[in-house]
Structure 1
Amino acid sequence: MPERIYGIRHHGPGSARAVVRELDTHPPEVLLIEGPPEADDLVRWAADGGLEPPVALLGYATDDPGRAAFWPFAVFSPEWQAIRWAVRRGVRVRFFDLPYGYRVAPSAASPEAVADGAVHPSPQAKGPAGVSGTAPGAGPKTDGEHLTEAGAGAGPENAGEDLTEAVPETVGGHLPGPGAGAGPDGEDTASGPMRPVDPIAELAAAAGYDDPERWWEDVVEHRGMPVFEAIAEAMTAIREHAPEDPDDLLREAFMRSVLREERRRHEDVAVVCGAWHVPALLRKVPVKDDTALLKGRRKGKVAFTWVPWTYGRLASWSGYGAGVRSPGWYHHLFTTGDDVVTRWLVDAAGVLRAEGVPTSSAHVIEAVRLAEALATLRGRPLAGLAEVTEAAEAVMCDGEPLRSELIARRLVVGERLGAVPDDMPAVPLVRDLTAQQRSLRLRPDAAERALDLDLRQDNDLRRSRLLHRLTVLGVPWGRRATTRRGTGTFREEWRLAWQPEFAVRLVEGGMWGTTVVAAATARVTRRAREASALAEVTELVETCLLADLAEAYPSVLAALDTRAALDADVHHLMAAIPALARTLRYGDVRRTDVAGLATVTASLLGRVCAGLPSAAGSLSDDAARQLRDGMDGVHQAVGLLADESLRDRWLATIGSLATRPGLHGLAAGRLTRLLLDAGRLDGAEVRRRLRLPLTVGTPPAHAAAWVEGFLSGGGLLLVHDEALLSLVDDWLADIPAEAFDSVLPLLRRTFGGFDSGERRAIGERIAGGRSARTGPMIMIDTGRAAAPLTTLGALLGRPLSVGGPPPGSAVAAENAGEAGNAVASEKTEGARSAVAAEQTGEAGNAVAAGGAREAGSAVAVAGSGEA
């Protein structure tokens, strides 16, 4: 009896149902499935209840685990259903695609494809443009793009997706370079020439459909028509005129050789493969031709296992060339018997309710009616994803795109993560991680979730150490969140999301050790030995603390000593101290022994104190900014250290440096501020030092740099010190007009860095402090002050006059909230009032009636640049 060849659509629920029906009707003696032959021994696990799709076969080169490939399966994948059917009935299953070992042979890899242990894409997805892959150079779509397409008329079941199994690449994934791809279902970004033919598009066009995806859904998914013979005939016609892919020819030669072998052994053979390959398997090709094509090829050593997969990675927008745009919808189609539309919209209502969107049963009823009406109007046998999406958006989402995207993310794509049995063959590192995940009650999940850890709790502390160790191994299951404010050291916030490619990283990590802690220790030790910069080693010191890598600590500390002794750059030394200080402070919370680190830190600080004066000479603006940042880091780090002698030494160093003649204004101002914050200077001394650069004769650029250095880091000092605020305000008013342009950018940068609340408070202090100030009587030049009032009155819609508001407010108090303008008058005091309004962050312009100079100074303080 001739073999039965079932050309299927990879990850097509209609194909899956049709294949199972055919196998029930005509049970074979042996079942051949498109896939890597090296994974034949893993087929038996499909009968294990612990192997829950979506899952994937992971193949990797044993001598280079970074060269790996995936063959994903969903519950609705025809290959998966065929395998489950066979193992339950005791029918032998054999994968008959080109062995993956050919792909990873040394001659198969291209230098550009094998980079840094990354998971490499397979040329398996080079199907027709818009069918089973992306064009060369095209990246995967963003989440927003795929959600928009998934939830609209061009949705997952519409054109552009892996339209049919007419494309051969639909079960296996990442390939290490052109010509080295493996597996029928590659997760790929296309690494070969694209076929110019979209076979399903041509078939749909012949049937009068503009949308190939709708044609497939109507013919196969909704009606369930047996189309294997028709598809085979259509593929034969299309391939007669389509250019051949050399990779396909090689794969199909191997497939035919396996098929001939099984024909000699069995009378009844069934084949499940991508429909594109059917004509090649039916074609009569001489044995010698296939043998010649396969002759002389080397085979590398590979290993295979099952790993969990996600629907997000099965989606085509992730870059998976054989992916589908709506895995969640297809799962629903395959697993739901009756009332497909109703059950889908009930689930959609549940998603909205979970997010606090009121959705009643009446909404669901009306949405079902609308979806069915749309299907009837469009002549479809059943409402598809386009109809249910439009109905849900119109009835349940009130036309709100964000709600539609939420449904698309949760249901159309889905957040399902597969599972594998605990006793599945795996590298020891994976087994150790699985055991720790179970012990710590930290279950992997494809959906991102927040994790708040209290390091005072033993279980949370162990969780933190595990996440940090995995980060060392290049498995960023958790990423540190930075939303928490404060200096507390006993809490950590993480965002967790498990990705399938972590399986490859873990296989790679197996070369460092058989347990997570051993592998992380070996990895950190190697990095410390190879580090070329001091900053790299100090980061590793902190890593040893966070991940509790006690055995790596001596090696890292020795490398730190060596690097610190060889590095004479003060900037490098200053950059190293903050991480060491954090390590010393956090050691108590994490119960880590940091003995010996305090000595190294003290030594580095001593070298910084000795080298800082020479490093502070003849600084450019950029060098001064770099020095300021470094000093800020050291100053903060010294505050973390519970060592008064180190603190006194640091403060003595910057105290003598702050009074050094010729020191760049930015550094001098910043040092004065640090000394004030540390209590080494009182307010009177600070005001005296501030007057020196602000006196007449000092270059305005130097004075502005001094003010920038002094005020950088926040404006609360000006809020609480009225005398200092008055001093800065007076200096602003006295800047000569010809020097103002050079000072303005520096001041804008300074005041623009303050929080809006600080700017507002400064403005209020200036405006509110007028009555308490002493000084000459304010004289208003009414002629000059009235000039802008005509325009302002037209903008406000009511007449304005000079008289009325108190002189100190200069109309700003009345109009700041309405027009965002401050009308100031008469030189210095007018400039001050304009500054007050402008600094609130609400005033848009400062109009100084006292002249361009006064208005300009007001703009400088506010940092708005508008007058």
Structure 2
Amino acid sequence: MTPRDPGHDGPLLLGVRHHGPGSARAVRAALEAARPSAVLVEGPPEGDALLPLAADDRMKPPVALLAHAVDDPGSASFWPMADFSPEWVAIRWALAHDIPVRFVDLPAANSLALAEHAAKEQGQAGRAVDPIGILAATAGYDDPERWWEDVVEHRGADGRTADPLASFAALAEAMTALREAHGDGGHPQDAVREACMRLQLRSARREFGDDVAVVCGAWHVPALAARTTVAADRALLKGIPKVRTELTWVPWTHRRLARRSGYGAGIESPGWYGHVFAAQDRPVERWMTKVAGLLREEDRHVSSADVIEAVRLAGTLAALRDRPAVGLTEATDAVRAVMCEGSDVPLDLVRDRLVVGEILGEVPDSAPAVPLQRDLDGQQRSLRLRPEAREREVDLDLRKETDAARSRLLHRLRLLGVDWGVPVAGRGSTGTFRESWRVRWEPELFVRIAEAGVWGTTVLGAATAKAEADALSVPSLAGVTALAERCLLGGLSDVLPVVMRALADRAALDADVSHLADALPALARSLRYGDVRSTDGAALGEVAVGIAERVCIGLPPACTGIDADAAAEMHGRLDGVHTAIGLLTGAVGSEGPADRWADTLRRLAARDAVAGVIRGRATRLLLDDGRLPGGEPARLMSLALSPGTPPAEAAAWIEGFVGAASGGAMLLVHDERLLGLVDGWLTGIPAGEFTGVLPLLRRTFSAYEPGVRRALGDLVRRGPGAGSADGAGGSPVRGFGEGLDEERADAVVPVLRLLLGPGTPADRAGAV
């Protein structure tokens, strides 16, 4: 079979793999040789009006056609293209030679409407056929990628073969055999697509003559060359649904071209293919130089001699494996052996950064876009917050106007469901003046922006409208408090009255102390933003204080007589409320909430019916806040670990008091009185009961850092008081005193001054 319709001079059918440098170069060579009257490319016909943008110098692949339903923007499809995509090469060639170029496939209006139905059919049809995998296995290859490289990418891929159409004829013949054996290959919707392609191909032949060229997936070539009637093709298309659609070009990434991203036509190594396509002169040498540069940026020593040796080794491996040229497998093996010293750790970096790649394409401003996208583009430029495919962390100082505006933008986008950035714990994350974000731009975010466009034409307007709607629909009190926090973070002052009314209403009606405890932390955090973000937190403060009062009253009864699972949940709420009370106390300028919370913790610590993990945690929180006299912690521990206490309950108390998350390890290291009590309790557990409490103990102590565990072991081995100034035998066991040891504190001051650096005496005194 030839690429042309058999029996007469028909269209030039160029079957390709959608992303491959060899196919792309072969397509260019075939078009140069055939000089067709028009070029048809697999893609949605609604995109024809957008094709001239491919010739714009500001259009930098990888890019993709994005089609979404007007009434349901979340229903969307992408048609990605890279520099090395045959379709992109064909489009650019046609535009450069002033030859008509069109898309030829099922319209996006139909394909989007059929998407749900097609997914159901795909599930019924079973596993789809992998044509490349079958051909590779038939040829005796266990790796389809390596087979494709050997027969297409390396052999005659430079386009300088005697017959530039020979490879297309061979591939068309192979696909014809596969279609005869496997039918639609598990793609039942292809029959509809191919009928549409044939109809459009007939229309193009009537307009431009028979010498048109079609660039499409090789799998479709037999169907396009088949003899069918117009009536039969129209019958296949009769009655298929359609929706109103909009199309545009959007930037794409090499990472989203990778198969591991879930892209159906994905490839293993878009970064490598992009390099092979661009570096036709000495590609292996240039690749090894690129790898060496990346590793040097990561402080790995890679010399010029290493680059030369890696090139030689890759060539030797290709010869030993009887390959026509060095492929990615040989290049990777050489890099591992020479530059990575046999380790896969730096090699994983090479795979991620270079083999897959982090390139993000660009689209000119003249491309159509929803108004919300236009507004976002303008803010990204004005705030110098450029979208990038590579994940990176951004630290923001909210005292700076630009950084504060960046923070508001990222928070507003998150409220709209556009998670360009995700907050992370970073330097200064516990303060109010700093934020850390992990940002990465993914192509799917364009769909999220299209979806969010129903709320408004600007980021501010859309976020405000979305927050107002959420305030009326969020069912839980915690959900409303979280929304209030996000509105403050995003600077959505206009919607705050609506959110506050909803918050007050829900708080008044919700009597579940668990819900109140869950809601309080977000409210307390929100109150911190008044100084930095110039927001009025008075109304929030009133609601927060009222909720805190109700939590203090209702928490002790709620923690009484509960099982282990409920106790674990309450343990987490206890920590959240404790942190929130601290923030609330500072925000309202009164110690009232803190004093009432301390009374609540005392009731929890002293009530026997409260679960052990909660009593232990309450005791620890009181100790940390300095609200227990010097001997009180030891007395409470003695009661909790008394012989009459069941071992499992005592172990739970220890988990709450000295768990690793609360820094309990260092407490035991520095207070030998408490360590002695724990040691005495452990050694006194009957052998028959020790096995039952061992899992609880292991959960508590195994989380300690190794160095801390060694220190505790040394202290236990020496025995109580062995290291005290008074010596062993009858000497008091060391512990935290009630007063300040000024001599020990003064010894720290010189070190602090060195750490803090130079400054005025007043500055240093204030810092210390």
TM-score, scaled to structure 1: 0.75
Structure 1 position 753, deviation (Å): 4.8
The residue type paired with residue 331 of structure 1 is G
- 3-state SS in 2 of match to 1:322: coil
User: Which of 594, 597, 613 pairs up with 1:650?
Assistant: 597
Question: Which one of 437, 460, 465 corresponds to residue 494 of structure 1?
Answer: 437
Q: CA RMSD in A?
A: 3.1
Compute the displacement of 1:694 (Å). 4.4
Partner Cα distance (1:776, 1:93) in 2: 94
Q: How many residues align?
A: 705
Provide the residue aligned with 1:586 in structure 2.
Answer: 529
1:341-352 to 2 correspondences below 5 Å: 341-352=284-295
Is 2:336 the partner of 1:384? Answer: no
Provide the C-alpha distance between the structure 1 equivalents of 2:649 and 2:169, rounded to a whole number of angstroms: 85
> Secondary structure, in 3 states, of the residue corresponding to 2:102?
strand
Amino acid at match of 1:589: V
- 1:593-742 correspondence runs (5 A): 593-641=536-584, 642=586, 643-656=590-603, 658-660=605-607, 662-695=609-642, 697-712=644-659, 713=662, 714-735=664-685, 740-741=690-691
Letter in 1 for 2:191: L
Mapping of residues 337-416 of structure 1, within 5 Å: 337-416=280-359
Partner Cα separation in structure 2 for residue 625 and residue 201 of structure 1: 54
> Residues 520 and 233 (structure 1 numbering): CA distance in 2 closer, same or farther, change over 3 Å?
same
Which residue of structure 2 aligns with residue 262 of structure 1? 204
Residue 330 of structure 1: aligned partner: 273
By how many angstroms is 1:742 displaced? 5.1
CA distance in 2, matches of 1:607, 1:533: 17
Taking the aligned partners of 1:577 and 1:33, their CA distance within structure 2 comes to 58
Give the deviation of 1:597 after TM superposition.
0.2
Report the 3-state secondary structure (helix = DSSP H, G, I; strand = E; otherwise coil) of the residue aligned with 2:74.
strand
Structure 2 counterpart of 1:549 = 492
Aligned-pair distance for 1:196?
A: 4.8
Which one of 189, 192, 195 corresponds to residue 253 of structure 1?
195
1:38 to 27, 37, 46: 46
SS of residue paired to 2:366: coil
Deviation at 1:70, TM superposition (A): 0.4
Query: 1: CA distance between counterparts of 2:275 and 2:234?
Result: 44
Write the distance in 2 (CA, Å) between the matches of 1:191 and 1:506: 33
Distance 1:748 1:63, change over 3 A: same
Determine whether 1:276 maps to 2:276. no
Question: What is the aligned partner in structure 2 of residue 232 from structure 1?
Answer: 172
Q: Give 1:443 shift.
A: 1.1
Aligned to 1:139: none
Residue 79 (structure 1) aligned with residue 87 (structure 2): yes
1:680–1:349 distance in 2 versus 1, CA, 3 Å = closer
Shift of 1:221: 2.5
The answer for unaligned runs of 5 or more in structure 1 is: 114-122, 124-176, 180-188, 779-807, 809-828, 830-867
How far, CA to CA, are the matches of 1:194 and 1:745 in structure 2?
A: 46
Change (3 A) 1:293 1:711: closer
Q: Deviations over 1:402-422 (max 9, x none)?
A: 233322222222211111012
| Counterparts of 2:357 and 2:51, CA distance in 1 | 26
Kindly indicate whether the alpha-carbon contact (under 8 Å) linking 2:22 and 2:152 is maintained by their aligned counterparts in 1: no
Q: 1:528 aligns with which of 466, 471, 489?
A: 471
Name which of 1, 26, 29 aligns with 2:37. Answer: 29
Matched, 1:221 2:157: yes
| Match among 453, 458, 473 for residue 515 of structure 1 | 458
Q: What TM-score comes out, normalization by structure 2 length?
A: 0.84
Asked if 1:286 corresponds to 2:238, the answer is no
CA distance in 1: counterparts of 2:124 and 2:265, whole angstroms: 13
1:64 aligns with 2:64: no
CA distance in 2, matches of 1:635, 1:748: 26
Aligned to 2:262: 319
Whole-angstrom CA distance in 1 between matches of 2:248 and 2:123: 25
Instruction: Give runs of aligned pairs for residues 186-205 of structure 1, distance below 5 A.
Output: 193-194=126-127, 196=129, 198=131, 201-202=134-135, 205=138
- Hey, what's the Cα distance between the residues in 1 that align with 2:240 and 2:516? 55
Displacement after TM superposition at 1:303 (Å): 0.8
Once residues 327 and 191 of structure 1 are traced to their aligned partners in structure 2, the CA distance between those partners, rounded to angstroms, is 32
Structure 2: runs of 5+ lacking an equivalent: 1-8, 734-768
How do residues 847-862 of structure 1 correspond to structure 2 at under 5 angstroms? none
Question: Does structure 1 retain, via aligned residues, the 8 Å contact 2:66–2:250?
Answer: yes
Report the Cα offset of residue 218 of structure 1. 3.6
Are the equivalent residues in 2 in contact too, given 1:195–1:242 (CA < 8 A)?
no
| Residue 107 (structure 2) aligned to one of 80, 99, 105 | 99
Summarize the Cα distance change of 1:296–1:676 in structure 2 as closer, same or farther, 3 Å threshold. Answer: closer
Contact 1:203 1:234 (8 Å CA) reproduced? no
1:5/1:693 CA distance change after superposition, 3 Å: closer
1:511 aligned counterpart, secondary structure: helix
Cα separation, 1, equivalents of 2:130 and 2:708: 64
- 1:341–1:383 Cα contact (<8 Å) kept: yes
Q: What percentage of residue pairs aligned between the two structures are identical?
A: 53
The letter for the 1-side match of 2:599 is: A
CA contact under 8 A between 2:394 and 2:439: conserved in structure 1? yes
Superposed displacement of residue 504, structure 1: 0.8
Give the aligned partner of residue 424 of structure 1.
367
CA distance in 1, matches of 2:700, 2:135: 64
User: Which amino acid in the other structure matches residue 529 of structure 2?
Assistant: Y
Residues 787-798 of structure 1: pairs in structure 2 closer than 5 A: none
Cα–Cα, structure 1 residues 27 and 462, in superposed 2: closer, same or farther, change >3 Å?
same
Change (3 A) 1:526 1:2: same
Cα shift at 1:738: 5.7
Deviation at 1:615?
Answer: 2.3
Aligned to 1:148: none
**Residues 371 and 391 of structure 1 are in contact (CA less than 8 Å); yes or no, is this contact kept in structure 2?**
yes
**Per-residue deviation, 1:358:** 1.7
CA deviations on 1:350-406 (whole Å, 9 max, x unpaired) are 222222222222222222223333334444443222332233333333222223332
Q: How far did 1:194 drift?
A: 4.4
* CA displacement 1:166-188 (0-9 Å, x = unmatched): xxxxxxxxxxx356xxxxxxxxx
Q: Classify 1:370/1:528 alpha carbon distance in 2 versus 1 (closer, same or farther; 3 Å).
A: same
Distance in 2 (CA, whole Å) between partners of 1:699 and 1:228 is 80
Is the deviation greater in 63-72 or in 334-343?
A: 334-343
Tell whether the 8 Å contact from 1:450 to 1:496 is kept in structure 2 after alignment.
Answer: yes
- Structure 1 residue 472 displacement after superposition: 1.9
Question: For the residues of structure 2 that align with 1:341 and 1:37, how far apart are their CA atoms?
Answer: 39
Structure 2 counterpart of 1:229, one-letter code: A
Aligned to 1:785: none
In the other structure, the counterpart of 2:755 is: none
Rounded to whole Å, the distance in 2 between the matches of 1:408 and 1:612 is 53
The amino acid that maps onto 1:317 is: R
Partners of 1:100 and 1:255 lie apart in 2 by 13
Q: Distance in 1 between matches of 2:387 and 2:615?
A: 52
> Structure 1 or 2: larger helix share?
2
Shift of residue 771 of structure 1?
A: 6.3
Match of 1:859 in 2: none
Q: 725-734 or 474-483, which moves further after superposition?
A: 725-734
Per the TM alignment, residue 52 of structure 1 is displaced from its structure 2 partner at its CA by 0.6
Aligned to 2:722: 770
Contact 2:155 2:324 in 1 (8 A): no
Match of 2:749 in 1: none
Tell me, in whole angstroms, the C-alpha distance in 1 between the residues paired with 2:608 and 2:127: 70
Instruction: Say if 1:192 and 1:586 are closer, same or farther in 2 by CA, change over 3 A.
Output: farther
Equivalent residues of 1:455, 1:490 under 8 A apart: yes
| C-alpha separation in 2, matches of 1:4 and 1:701 | 80
CA distance in 1, matches of 2:155, 2:440: 38
